Chains A and B, each alone.
Chain A
Amino acid sequence: MKYFDPHIHMTSRTTDDYQAMADAGIAAIIEPAFWLGQPRTHVGSFEDYFLSLVGWERFRASQFGIQHYCTMALNPKEANNPDVADGVIELVQLYLEKEGVVAVGEIGYDDMTAAEEKYLIAQLQLAIDHELPALIHTPHRDKKNGTLRTLDVLRDMNFPPHMCLVDHNNEETLAATLDAGVWAGHSIYPNTKMDEDRMVKLVHEFGSDRIIINSAADWGVSDPLKVPKTAAKMREAGIGDDVIAKICWNNPVEFFAQGGRLDLDKIEVAPKVDQTRLHEGNSVLRGQKPVVDA
Protein backbone atom coordinates (compact mmCIF):
# COMPACT_ATOMS: atom_id res chain seq x y z
CA MET A 1 0.00 0.00 0.00
CA LYS A 2 1.29 3.47 -0.69
CA TYR A 3 0.92 6.29 1.82
CA PHE A 4 0.48 10.05 1.72
CA ASP A 5 1.73 12.23 4.57
CA PRO A 6 -0.02 15.57 3.95
CA HIS A 7 1.60 17.47 6.81
CA ILE A 8 5.33 17.06 7.40
CA HIS A 9 8.14 19.60 7.82
CA MET A 10 10.94 17.99 5.86
CA THR A 11 13.13 21.05 6.12
CA SER A 12 13.95 19.81 9.63
CA ARG A 13 14.50 16.19 8.67
CA THR A 14 17.55 14.30 7.39
CA THR A 15 17.93 12.08 4.36
CA ASP A 16 17.81 9.11 6.77
CA ASP A 17 14.16 10.10 7.30
CA TYR A 18 13.54 10.32 3.57
CA GLN A 19 15.04 6.86 3.09
CA ALA A 20 12.98 5.39 5.94
CA MET A 21 9.84 7.04 4.57
CA ALA A 22 10.47 5.67 1.10
CA ASP A 23 11.14 2.19 2.51
CA ALA A 24 7.88 2.36 4.49
CA GLY A 25 5.88 3.13 1.34
CA ILE A 26 5.35 6.88 1.66
CA ALA A 27 5.00 8.05 -1.94
CA ALA A 28 3.73 11.62 -1.54
CA ILE A 29 4.02 14.39 1.04
CA ILE A 30 2.92 17.93 1.62
CA GLU A 31 5.17 20.32 3.48
CA PRO A 32 3.22 23.28 4.88
CA ALA A 33 4.93 26.64 5.40
CA PHE A 34 5.35 27.12 9.13
CA TRP A 35 7.70 28.63 11.66
CA LEU A 36 11.20 27.25 12.10
CA GLY A 37 11.33 26.80 15.86
CA GLN A 38 12.61 30.29 16.54
CA PRO A 39 11.31 33.58 15.17
CA ARG A 40 12.45 34.98 11.86
CA THR A 41 13.46 38.63 11.94
CA HIS A 42 13.32 39.56 8.24
CA VAL A 43 10.70 39.21 5.55
CA GLY A 44 13.52 37.96 3.34
CA SER A 45 14.00 34.96 5.62
CA PHE A 46 10.48 33.87 4.77
CA GLU A 47 11.13 34.32 1.06
CA ASP A 48 14.22 32.14 1.09
CA TYR A 49 12.30 29.53 3.08
CA PHE A 50 9.45 29.65 0.54
CA LEU A 51 11.97 29.25 -2.27
CA SER A 52 13.40 26.18 -0.56
CA LEU A 53 9.91 24.66 -0.32
CA VAL A 54 9.49 24.91 -4.09
CA GLY A 55 13.13 24.15 -4.82
CA TRP A 56 15.54 22.18 -2.68
CA GLU A 57 13.02 20.19 -0.61
CA ARG A 58 11.10 19.16 -3.69
CA PHE A 59 14.34 18.03 -5.31
CA ARG A 60 15.57 16.26 -2.16
CA ALA A 61 12.28 14.31 -1.88
CA SER A 62 12.43 13.29 -5.54
CA GLN A 63 15.83 11.72 -4.95
CA PHE A 64 14.01 9.17 -2.75
CA GLY A 65 11.08 8.62 -5.08
CA ILE A 66 8.73 10.83 -3.06
CA GLN A 67 6.49 13.47 -4.66
CA HIS A 68 6.70 16.70 -2.68
CA TYR A 69 4.12 19.48 -2.66
CA CYS A 70 3.85 22.40 -0.30
CA THR A 71 1.54 25.09 1.03
CA MET A 72 2.28 28.76 1.55
CA ALA A 73 1.24 31.16 4.33
CA LEU A 74 2.18 33.42 7.18
CA ASN A 75 1.97 31.00 10.09
CA PRO A 76 -0.12 31.75 13.20
CA LYS A 77 2.79 32.30 15.56
CA GLU A 78 4.66 34.79 13.39
CA ALA A 79 1.46 36.62 12.51
CA ASN A 80 2.13 38.32 15.83
CA ASN A 81 5.29 39.99 14.53
CA PRO A 82 4.29 43.39 13.11
CA ASP A 83 7.76 43.88 11.60
CA VAL A 84 7.27 41.05 9.12
CA ALA A 85 3.56 40.21 8.92
CA ASP A 86 2.42 42.51 6.11
CA GLY A 87 5.57 41.91 4.11
CA VAL A 88 5.06 38.16 4.31
CA ILE A 89 1.40 38.42 3.23
CA GLU A 90 2.60 40.24 0.14
CA LEU A 91 5.09 37.44 -0.54
CA VAL A 92 2.43 34.79 -0.01
CA GLN A 93 0.34 36.27 -2.82
CA LEU A 94 3.20 35.67 -5.20
CA TYR A 95 4.37 32.33 -3.85
CA LEU A 96 0.86 30.84 -3.99
CA GLU A 97 1.35 31.00 -7.77
CA LYS A 98 4.53 28.90 -7.83
CA GLU A 99 4.67 25.38 -9.13
CA GLY A 100 4.14 22.71 -6.47
CA VAL A 101 1.99 24.86 -4.16
CA VAL A 102 -1.35 23.15 -3.48
CA ALA A 103 -2.98 25.19 -0.71
CA VAL A 104 -2.86 28.16 1.65
CA GLY A 105 -1.41 27.00 4.97
CA GLU A 106 -0.71 26.69 7.78
CA ILE A 107 -3.01 29.45 9.03
CA GLY A 108 -5.01 29.75 12.22
CA TYR A 109 -4.69 30.58 15.88
CA ASP A 110 -1.76 29.99 18.20
CA ASP A 111 -2.39 32.15 21.29
CA MET A 112 -5.78 33.50 20.16
CA THR A 113 -4.62 37.09 19.59
CA ALA A 114 -6.23 39.81 17.47
CA ALA A 115 -3.26 39.76 15.10
CA GLU A 116 -3.61 36.01 14.56
CA GLU A 117 -7.27 36.45 13.77
CA LYS A 118 -6.60 39.30 11.37
CA TYR A 119 -4.12 37.26 9.31
CA LEU A 120 -6.23 34.09 9.49
CA ILE A 121 -9.11 35.99 7.89
CA ALA A 122 -6.84 37.72 5.37
CA GLN A 123 -5.36 34.41 4.26
CA LEU A 124 -8.73 32.65 4.06
CA GLN A 125 -9.60 35.43 1.65
CA LEU A 126 -6.41 34.71 -0.29
CA ALA A 127 -7.49 31.07 -0.52
CA ILE A 128 -10.81 32.22 -2.00
CA ASP A 129 -9.07 34.64 -4.38
CA HIS A 130 -6.58 32.02 -5.59
CA GLU A 131 -9.22 29.23 -5.61
CA LEU A 132 -7.10 27.09 -3.31
CA PRO A 133 -8.01 24.92 -0.33
CA ALA A 134 -6.94 26.03 3.16
CA LEU A 135 -4.97 24.05 5.73
CA ILE A 136 -5.81 25.29 9.22
CA HIS A 137 -3.68 24.76 12.30
CA THR A 138 -5.54 24.54 15.60
CA PRO A 139 -3.78 25.67 18.78
CA HIS A 140 -2.09 23.12 20.99
CA ARG A 141 -3.02 25.12 24.10
CA ASP A 142 -6.74 25.82 24.72
CA LYS A 143 -7.42 23.68 21.68
CA LYS A 144 -11.15 23.12 22.02
CA ASN A 145 -11.85 26.83 22.38
CA GLY A 146 -9.47 27.65 19.54
CA THR A 147 -11.05 25.10 17.23
CA LEU A 148 -14.58 26.30 17.93
CA ARG A 149 -13.49 29.91 17.35
CA THR A 150 -11.85 28.82 14.07
CA LEU A 151 -15.06 27.13 12.92
CA ASP A 152 -16.97 30.32 13.78
CA VAL A 153 -14.63 32.39 11.62
CA LEU A 154 -15.08 29.98 8.72
CA ARG A 155 -18.84 30.14 9.06
CA ASP A 156 -18.86 33.95 9.30
CA MET A 157 -16.82 34.18 6.12
CA ASN A 158 -18.99 31.60 4.31
CA PHE A 159 -15.78 29.78 3.53
CA PRO A 160 -16.71 26.65 1.53
CA PRO A 161 -16.36 23.76 4.04
CA HIS A 162 -15.16 21.23 1.46
CA MET A 163 -12.15 23.49 0.79
CA CYS A 164 -11.05 23.52 4.40
CA LEU A 165 -8.88 21.05 6.34
CA VAL A 166 -8.87 21.74 10.09
CA ASP A 167 -5.82 19.92 11.46
CA HIS A 168 -4.53 18.59 14.79
CA ASN A 169 -7.95 17.33 15.97
CA ASN A 170 -8.44 15.21 19.08
CA GLU A 171 -11.32 13.60 21.01
CA GLU A 172 -12.50 17.04 22.17
CA THR A 173 -12.70 18.68 18.76
CA LEU A 174 -13.45 16.05 16.13
CA ALA A 175 -17.25 16.00 16.44
CA ALA A 176 -17.54 19.78 16.06
CA THR A 177 -15.06 19.78 13.16
CA LEU A 178 -16.94 17.12 11.24
CA ASP A 179 -20.32 18.75 12.02
CA ALA A 180 -19.06 21.94 10.40
CA GLY A 181 -18.64 19.99 7.15
CA VAL A 182 -14.88 20.55 6.91
CA TRP A 183 -12.14 17.94 6.60
CA ALA A 184 -10.48 16.77 9.81
CA GLY A 185 -6.72 16.24 10.12
CA HIS A 186 -4.96 14.39 12.93
CA SER A 187 -1.28 14.62 13.80
CA ILE A 188 0.07 11.42 15.28
CA TYR A 189 2.95 12.07 17.69
CA PRO A 190 5.11 9.91 19.99
CA ASN A 191 4.17 11.42 23.36
CA THR A 192 1.91 14.38 22.81
CA LYS A 193 -1.11 15.32 20.70
CA MET A 194 -2.76 12.24 19.13
CA ASP A 195 -1.42 8.68 19.07
CA GLU A 196 -2.09 5.56 16.95
CA ASP A 197 -4.35 3.72 19.41
CA ARG A 198 -6.53 6.76 20.07
CA MET A 199 -6.73 7.38 16.32
CA VAL A 200 -8.00 3.85 15.76
CA LYS A 201 -10.76 4.54 18.33
CA LEU A 202 -11.74 7.74 16.52
CA VAL A 203 -11.97 5.91 13.20
CA HIS A 204 -14.17 3.25 14.83
CA GLU A 205 -16.42 5.97 16.22
CA PHE A 206 -16.52 8.47 13.33
CA GLY A 207 -15.69 6.38 10.24
CA SER A 208 -13.41 7.54 7.43
CA ASP A 209 -15.30 10.30 5.62
CA ARG A 210 -13.21 13.47 5.57
CA ILE A 211 -10.70 11.89 7.97
CA ILE A 212 -7.01 12.57 7.26
CA ILE A 213 -3.92 11.61 9.26
CA ASN A 214 -0.36 12.96 9.22
CA SER A 215 2.84 12.91 11.23
CA ALA A 216 3.44 16.69 11.36
CA ALA A 217 7.05 15.60 11.92
CA ASP A 218 9.25 18.62 12.55
CA TRP A 219 12.28 19.80 14.50
CA GLY A 220 10.87 18.46 17.78
CA VAL A 221 10.50 14.88 18.96
CA SER A 222 8.31 13.44 16.21
CA ASP A 223 8.22 10.49 13.86
CA PRO A 224 8.00 10.74 10.06
CA LEU A 225 6.69 7.16 9.91
CA LYS A 226 3.52 7.76 11.93
CA VAL A 227 1.22 7.42 8.90
CA PRO A 228 2.29 3.85 8.01
CA LYS A 229 2.48 3.02 11.74
CA THR A 230 -1.07 4.21 12.31
CA ALA A 231 -2.19 2.25 9.24
CA ALA A 232 -0.61 -0.85 10.79
CA LYS A 233 -2.53 -0.27 14.05
CA MET A 234 -5.76 0.14 12.10
CA ARG A 235 -5.09 -3.13 10.31
CA GLU A 236 -4.41 -4.87 13.63
CA ALA A 237 -7.71 -3.51 14.95
CA GLY A 238 -9.56 -5.14 12.07
CA ILE A 239 -10.13 -2.05 9.94
CA GLY A 240 -10.24 -3.06 6.28
CA ASP A 241 -7.59 -2.12 3.72
CA ASP A 242 -10.10 -0.13 1.70
CA VAL A 243 -10.83 2.11 4.68
CA ILE A 244 -7.12 2.45 5.46
CA ALA A 245 -6.33 3.33 1.82
CA LYS A 246 -9.12 5.89 1.91
CA ILE A 247 -7.73 7.60 5.01
CA CYS A 248 -4.05 7.31 4.07
CA TRP A 249 -4.22 8.06 0.34
CA ASN A 250 -7.56 8.84 -1.31
CA ASN A 251 -8.72 11.44 1.22
CA PRO A 252 -5.59 13.64 1.18
CA VAL A 253 -5.38 13.34 -2.62
CA GLU A 254 -9.02 14.33 -3.01
CA PHE A 255 -8.76 17.26 -0.63
CA PHE A 256 -5.57 18.78 -1.97
CA ALA A 257 -6.42 18.19 -5.63
CA GLN A 258 -9.28 20.67 -5.28
CA GLY A 259 -6.97 23.60 -6.04
CA GLY A 260 -6.11 22.16 -9.44
CA ARG A 261 -2.39 22.07 -8.63
CA LEU A 262 -2.04 18.38 -7.83
CA ASP A 263 -2.04 16.25 -10.96
CA LEU A 264 -4.27 13.26 -10.27
CA ASP A 265 -2.48 11.11 -12.85
CA LYS A 266 1.02 12.11 -11.82
CA ILE A 267 0.39 11.46 -8.11
CA GLU A 268 -0.32 7.79 -8.84
CA VAL A 269 3.02 7.25 -10.58
CA ALA A 270 6.15 6.84 -8.47
CA PRO A 271 8.77 9.30 -9.76
CA LYS A 272 11.89 7.65 -11.14
CA VAL A 273 14.69 7.95 -8.65
CA ASP A 274 17.84 9.35 -10.19
CA GLN A 275 20.35 10.31 -7.53
CA THR A 276 22.91 11.32 -10.12
CA ARG A 277 20.89 14.47 -10.70
CA LEU A 278 22.14 17.55 -8.92
CA HIS A 279 20.30 20.53 -7.55
CA GLU A 280 22.20 23.80 -7.30
CA GLY A 281 25.31 21.65 -7.56
CA ASN A 282 24.43 19.77 -4.41
CA SER A 283 23.87 16.07 -4.46
CA VAL A 284 22.13 14.39 -1.56
CA LEU A 285 24.88 11.78 -1.69
CA ARG A 286 28.15 11.90 0.17
CA GLY A 287 30.19 9.24 -1.52
CA GLN A 288 27.54 6.51 -1.84
CA LYS A 289 26.77 4.90 -5.15
CA PRO A 290 23.82 6.76 -6.68
CA VAL A 291 20.52 4.87 -6.92
CA VAL A 292 19.13 5.07 -10.43
CA ASP A 293 15.80 3.43 -11.23
CA ALA A 294 15.77 1.71 -14.62
Chain B
Amino acid sequence: MDAQDIDARAAAFADAVQGPGRAWLGSACGGLSAGVSATKIRVAIARAGRELGDTLVDVTAVVQDPALAGVWRACDAGRAALVLRAATVLESEAWLRFLTDAIRRGELSEQVSLLRMLPWLPDPAALTDVAVDACRTNSEPVFAAIACENPFPAAHFYDGAFDQVVIKAIFLGVSVERIVGLADRVTAETARIATDFADERRAAGRSVPADVDLVCNLAAKRSGSNNP
Protein backbone atom coordinates (compact mmCIF):
# COMPACT_ATOMS: atom_id res chain seq x y z
CA MET B 1 0.00 0.00 0.00
CA ASP B 2 1.46 3.37 -0.88
CA ALA B 3 0.92 6.49 1.20
CA GLN B 4 -1.97 7.61 -0.99
CA ASP B 5 -3.79 4.28 -0.55
CA ILE B 6 -3.25 4.40 3.19
CA ASP B 7 -4.59 7.94 3.37
CA ALA B 8 -7.63 7.00 1.29
CA ARG B 9 -8.36 4.07 3.57
CA ALA B 10 -7.97 6.23 6.68
CA ALA B 11 -10.40 8.73 5.21
CA ALA B 12 -12.89 5.97 4.39
CA PHE B 13 -12.84 4.73 7.99
CA ALA B 14 -13.12 8.28 9.34
CA ASP B 15 -16.05 8.87 7.03
CA ALA B 16 -18.03 6.15 8.78
CA VAL B 17 -18.04 8.18 12.00
CA GLN B 18 -21.01 10.51 12.19
CA GLY B 19 -22.20 12.94 14.81
CA PRO B 20 -20.18 15.11 17.20
CA GLY B 21 -17.25 12.68 17.34
CA ARG B 22 -16.50 13.36 13.68
CA ALA B 23 -14.99 16.77 14.38
CA TRP B 24 -12.87 15.39 17.22
CA LEU B 25 -11.60 12.59 14.95
CA GLY B 26 -10.70 14.99 12.16
CA SER B 27 -8.72 17.11 14.57
CA ALA B 28 -7.05 14.10 16.21
CA CYS B 29 -5.96 12.65 12.85
CA GLY B 30 -4.75 16.06 11.72
CA GLY B 31 -2.69 16.31 14.87
CA LEU B 32 -0.59 13.30 13.91
CA SER B 33 2.27 14.68 11.83
CA ALA B 34 5.86 13.68 11.12
CA GLY B 35 7.85 13.02 14.28
CA VAL B 36 4.74 12.43 16.37
CA SER B 37 5.41 10.53 19.60
CA ALA B 38 3.91 7.10 20.17
CA THR B 39 2.38 8.47 23.36
CA LYS B 40 0.42 11.12 21.50
CA ILE B 41 -1.08 8.48 19.22
CA ARG B 42 -1.88 6.24 22.19
CA VAL B 43 -3.62 9.13 23.97
CA ALA B 44 -5.78 9.68 20.88
CA ILE B 45 -6.56 5.97 20.74
CA ALA B 46 -7.53 6.00 24.43
CA ARG B 47 -9.69 9.12 24.00
CA ALA B 48 -11.45 7.68 20.94
CA GLY B 49 -13.45 5.42 23.24
CA ARG B 50 -15.04 8.36 25.05
CA GLU B 51 -15.25 10.71 22.06
CA LEU B 52 -16.70 8.27 19.53
CA GLY B 53 -18.57 5.67 21.56
CA ASP B 54 -19.84 2.18 20.90
CA THR B 55 -22.61 2.61 18.33
CA LEU B 56 -22.25 0.39 15.27
CA VAL B 57 -21.21 2.19 12.07
CA ASP B 58 -21.08 1.33 8.37
CA VAL B 59 -17.52 0.49 7.26
CA THR B 60 -18.49 -1.51 4.14
CA ALA B 61 -16.62 1.05 2.03
CA VAL B 62 -13.45 -0.62 3.33
CA VAL B 63 -14.46 -3.95 4.85
CA GLN B 64 -16.94 -4.75 2.07
CA ASP B 65 -18.42 -8.01 3.41
CA PRO B 66 -21.45 -6.90 5.48
CA ALA B 67 -21.08 -9.89 7.82
CA LEU B 68 -17.59 -8.70 8.74
CA ALA B 69 -18.49 -4.99 8.76
CA GLY B 70 -21.44 -5.58 11.06
CA VAL B 71 -19.39 -5.62 14.30
CA TRP B 72 -17.55 -2.33 13.80
CA ARG B 73 -18.21 0.34 16.44
CA ALA B 74 -17.61 4.05 15.92
CA CYS B 75 -14.52 3.88 18.16
CA ASP B 76 -13.17 0.98 16.06
CA ALA B 77 -13.52 3.00 12.85
CA GLY B 78 -11.99 6.07 14.47
CA ARG B 79 -9.05 4.14 15.88
CA ALA B 80 -8.47 2.54 12.46
CA ALA B 81 -8.30 6.01 10.92
CA LEU B 82 -5.79 7.08 13.58
CA VAL B 83 -3.57 4.00 13.18
CA LEU B 84 -3.58 4.32 9.37
CA ARG B 85 -2.79 8.02 9.62
CA ALA B 86 0.08 7.12 11.96
CA ALA B 87 1.41 4.75 9.28
CA THR B 88 1.88 7.71 6.94
CA VAL B 89 3.90 9.75 9.43
CA LEU B 90 6.01 7.11 11.14
CA GLU B 91 8.76 4.98 9.65
CA SER B 92 7.52 1.43 9.24
CA GLU B 93 9.69 0.01 12.05
CA ALA B 94 8.60 2.72 14.48
CA TRP B 95 4.98 2.22 13.44
CA LEU B 96 5.17 -1.54 14.02
CA ARG B 97 6.71 -0.95 17.45
CA PHE B 98 4.02 1.54 18.38
CA LEU B 99 1.23 -0.77 17.23
CA THR B 100 2.61 -3.84 19.02
CA ASP B 101 2.92 -1.77 22.18
CA ALA B 102 -0.58 -0.33 21.86
CA ILE B 103 -2.07 -3.81 21.53
CA ARG B 104 -0.14 -5.21 24.51
CA ARG B 105 -0.85 -2.19 26.71
CA GLY B 106 -4.38 -1.41 25.69
CA GLU B 107 -7.33 -1.71 27.96
CA LEU B 108 -10.10 -4.00 26.74
CA SER B 109 -11.94 -1.69 24.33
CA GLU B 110 -8.67 -0.50 22.77
CA GLN B 111 -7.51 -4.06 22.23
CA VAL B 112 -10.78 -4.94 20.49
CA SER B 113 -10.38 -2.03 18.06
CA LEU B 114 -6.71 -2.69 17.32
CA LEU B 115 -7.17 -6.41 16.65
CA ARG B 116 -10.25 -5.85 14.54
CA MET B 117 -8.45 -3.50 12.16
CA LEU B 118 -5.38 -5.70 11.50
CA PRO B 119 -6.40 -7.05 8.06
CA TRP B 120 -6.81 -3.50 6.77
CA LEU B 121 -3.42 -2.19 7.80
CA PRO B 122 -0.33 -2.00 5.54
CA ASP B 123 1.66 -5.27 5.46
CA PRO B 124 -0.66 -7.20 7.81
CA ALA B 125 1.53 -10.32 7.65
CA ALA B 126 4.13 -8.49 9.74
CA LEU B 127 1.60 -8.44 12.58
CA THR B 128 1.10 -12.21 12.69
CA ASP B 129 3.11 -12.80 15.87
CA VAL B 130 1.29 -10.02 17.71
CA ALA B 131 -2.07 -11.40 16.56
CA VAL B 132 -1.20 -14.97 17.58
CA ASP B 133 -0.09 -13.66 20.97
CA ALA B 134 -3.32 -11.70 21.39
CA CYS B 135 -5.27 -14.95 21.07
CA ARG B 136 -3.80 -15.95 24.43
CA THR B 137 -6.25 -13.59 26.11
CA ASN B 138 -9.28 -15.25 27.64
CA SER B 139 -11.22 -12.03 27.77
CA GLU B 140 -14.08 -12.94 25.46
CA PRO B 141 -14.53 -9.63 23.64
CA VAL B 142 -10.79 -9.36 22.93
CA PHE B 143 -10.59 -12.95 21.71
CA ALA B 144 -13.66 -12.42 19.51
CA ALA B 145 -12.08 -9.32 17.99
CA ILE B 146 -9.25 -11.39 16.45
CA ALA B 147 -11.00 -14.74 16.06
CA CYS B 148 -14.43 -13.72 14.77
CA GLU B 149 -15.63 -11.71 11.78
CA ASN B 150 -11.94 -11.22 11.09
CA PRO B 151 -10.15 -12.67 8.03
CA PHE B 152 -6.74 -12.30 9.64
CA PRO B 153 -6.26 -15.78 11.21
CA ALA B 154 -7.35 -17.63 8.07
CA ALA B 155 -5.07 -15.47 5.93
CA HIS B 156 -1.94 -15.43 8.08
CA PHE B 157 -1.89 -17.92 10.98
CA TYR B 158 0.17 -21.11 10.57
CA ASP B 159 -1.80 -24.34 11.10
CA GLY B 160 -1.02 -24.84 14.80
CA ALA B 161 -2.02 -21.30 15.69
CA PHE B 162 -5.25 -21.58 13.70
CA ASP B 163 -6.09 -24.83 15.52
CA GLN B 164 -5.69 -22.98 18.83
CA VAL B 165 -8.18 -20.33 17.70
CA VAL B 166 -10.72 -23.03 16.90
CA ILE B 167 -10.34 -25.01 20.12
CA LYS B 168 -10.32 -21.84 22.18
CA ALA B 169 -13.54 -20.68 20.55
CA ILE B 170 -15.12 -24.03 21.46
CA PHE B 171 -13.72 -23.70 24.99
CA LEU B 172 -15.05 -20.18 25.50
CA GLY B 173 -18.42 -20.91 23.96
CA VAL B 174 -17.78 -18.60 21.02
CA SER B 175 -19.50 -19.93 17.89
CA VAL B 176 -16.93 -21.34 15.44
CA GLU B 177 -19.18 -20.27 12.57
CA ARG B 178 -17.97 -16.76 13.31
CA ILE B 179 -14.40 -17.78 12.41
CA VAL B 180 -13.79 -16.50 8.89
CA GLY B 181 -12.38 -19.06 6.45
CA LEU B 182 -12.85 -22.00 8.83
CA ALA B 183 -13.80 -24.46 6.07
CA ASP B 184 -10.56 -23.72 4.18
CA ARG B 185 -8.23 -24.08 7.16
CA VAL B 186 -9.49 -27.02 9.24
CA THR B 187 -7.23 -30.07 9.07
CA ALA B 188 -7.31 -33.62 10.42
CA GLU B 189 -5.33 -32.25 13.35
CA THR B 190 -8.03 -29.65 14.12
CA ALA B 191 -10.60 -32.45 14.13
CA ARG B 192 -8.36 -34.56 16.38
CA ILE B 193 -8.03 -31.76 18.97
CA ALA B 194 -11.79 -31.13 18.91
CA THR B 195 -12.57 -34.83 19.28
CA ASP B 196 -10.15 -35.21 22.21
CA PHE B 197 -11.85 -32.25 23.88
CA ALA B 198 -15.24 -33.92 23.37
CA ASP B 199 -13.91 -37.14 25.00
CA GLU B 200 -12.68 -35.08 27.97
CA ARG B 201 -16.08 -33.46 28.42
CA ARG B 202 -17.89 -36.79 28.22
CA ALA B 203 -15.50 -38.33 30.77
CA ALA B 204 -16.34 -35.43 33.14
CA GLY B 205 -20.05 -36.01 32.68
CA ARG B 206 -20.43 -32.67 30.90
CA SER B 207 -22.13 -31.74 27.67
CA VAL B 208 -20.23 -31.65 24.38
CA PRO B 209 -20.59 -28.44 22.35
CA ALA B 210 -22.25 -28.92 18.96
CA ASP B 211 -19.33 -27.04 17.37
CA VAL B 212 -17.15 -30.15 17.79
CA ASP B 213 -19.23 -31.99 15.19
CA LEU B 214 -19.25 -28.99 12.93
CA VAL B 215 -15.45 -28.82 12.97
CA CYS B 216 -15.06 -32.56 12.35
CA ASN B 217 -17.50 -32.48 9.42
CA LEU B 218 -15.69 -29.56 7.83
CA ALA B 219 -12.35 -31.32 8.23
CA ALA B 220 -13.71 -34.49 6.66
CA LYS B 221 -15.20 -32.53 3.78
CA ARG B 222 -11.91 -30.72 3.16
CA SER B 223 -9.79 -33.88 3.19
CA GLY B 224 -12.45 -35.64 1.08
CA SER B 225 -12.29 -32.90 -1.54
CA ASN B 226 -8.50 -33.31 -1.68
CA ASN B 227 -8.91 -36.90 -2.74
CA PRO B 228 -9.61 -37.37 -6.41
Contact = CB atoms under 8 A, between A and B. Distances in A.
Nearest to A278: B138
B140 A277 contact: yes
Interface in B80-103: none
Contacts of A99: 46, 49-50, 107, 109
B39 A94 contact: yes
B43 A93 contact: yes
Contacts of A277: 140
A191 interface: no
Contacts of A98: 46, 107
Contacts of B139: 278-281
B201 interface: no
Contacts of B140: 277-278
A125 to B, nearest CB: 16
Contact of B108 (A55, A97, A282): A55
Contacts of B108: 55
B47 interface: yes
B164 to A, nearest CB: 13
A51 B105 contact: yes
A281 B138 contact: yes
A97 B139 CA distance: 22
Interface string B117-144: 0000000000000000000011110000
A94 B49 CA distance: 14
Chain A, interface SS category: loop
Contacts of B47: 97
B102 to A, nearest CB: 10
Interface bin, chain A:
10 to 19
A168 B161 CA distance: 52
Interface string A82-120: 000000001001100111100000000000000000000
B129 to A, nearest CB: 19
Contacts of A94: 39, 42-43, 46
A218 interface: no
B138 A282 contact: yes
Interface string A224-258: 00000000000000000000000000000000000
A291 B109 CA distance: 25
B43 A280 contact: no
A93 B172 CA distance: 35
Contacts of B109: 99
A14 B140 CA distance: 24
A90 B47 CA distance: 17
A151 B199 CA distance: 67
Nearest to A48: B105
Contacts of B46: 94, 97-99
B73 to A, nearest CB: 13
A280 B107 contact: no
A47 interface: yes
A286 to B, nearest CB: 16
A51 B49 CA distance: 16
A94 B98 CA distance: 14
Nearest to B108: A55
A93 B138 contact: no
A100 B39 CA distance: 19
A149 to B, nearest CB: 32
B46 to A, nearest CB: 4
A93 B39 contact: yes
Contacts of B107: 51, 54-55, 98-100
A65 to B, nearest CB: 19
Given A51-B107, A54-B107, A280 B50 contact: no
7 contacts: A51-B107, A99-B50, A99-B109, A100-B107, A279-B138, A280-B139, A281-B137
Given A93-B43, A281-B137, A282-B138, 5 more contacts: A99-B107, A278-B140, A280-B137, A280-B138, A280-B139
The 3 A-B pairs with the shortest beta carbon distances in the complex, nearest first, are: A281-B138, A97-B46, A54-B107
